[in-house]
Amino acid sequence: MTEDGVRAATAASDPISERIEDLQFVLGEGPCMDAFASRRPVLVPDLDELGCGAGSRWPFYAPAARRDGLRAVFAFPLQVGAARLGVMDVFRERAGPLSGEELADALDFAEVTVAALLDQQEDTGRGGVPAVDDGDDIGLRSELFQAQGMVMVQLEVSLVEAMARIRAYAYAEDRHLADVARDIVARRLSFDRDIT
């Protein structure tokens, strides 16, 4: 995640977690967004307690996540001082707070992840981008960034606005962000003033 609105999931443990992560980027709300903005962990032991509708904390994300079987979520910012690198989310299918041991483990995992991200930046010397595209995660981010640039040119808008348009389209069509980006890059989907 970056200050200028670039958002992408780097890794997910399973397809449901990937879908739940994707929902946050598509909807622009959720624990990941809050943890990144506040620079503090977001611990929600029971999504049912958030309620539904316009007055709830995440009026679109919470009901969608519950439909996918999520009952609790815990988001931990990945940061070093003022530098924010992203967020690590932990999802659970049952409600309830993290135990002291689970919370300590999650904080340790977040710390290890930050160290790994910093090592990757140090190893590559290029802001964390490996010299060789050796995985789907890098390919996905590249495709998303390319799609964002294409929509920016098509609509003559900023990069932030282009990403907002892509997210809105993914939400309206109930599609994964990666699939929409792939279609844009392959020129199967073109954003013009009539579509957005």
Same domain (yes/no): 77, 120: yes
Report the CATH number that the domain containing residue 95 is assigned in CATH: 3.30.450.40
pTM over 0.85: no
Q: Which residues pair with 83 in a beta bridge?
A: 80
- Rounded to the nearest angstrom, the gap between the alpha carbon of residue 40 and the centroid of all alpha carbons in its chain is 16
Same domain (yes/no): 65, 153: no
Report the CATH number that the domain containing residue 140 is assigned in CATH: 1.10.10
| Tens digit of each residue's pLDDT (9 = 90 or more) over 36-75 | 999 999 999 999 888 666 668 899 999 989 998 999 999 9
Same domain (yes/no): 68, 98: yes
Residue 108 forms part of a structural domain: yes
Alpha helices, DSSP H, located in 54-158: 61-67, 100-124, 136-155
Tokens representing 173 are 């069509």
| Tens digit of each residue's pLDDT (9 = 90 or more) over 120-146 | 655 544 443 333 334 455 556 677 878
Domain containing residue 81:
15-124
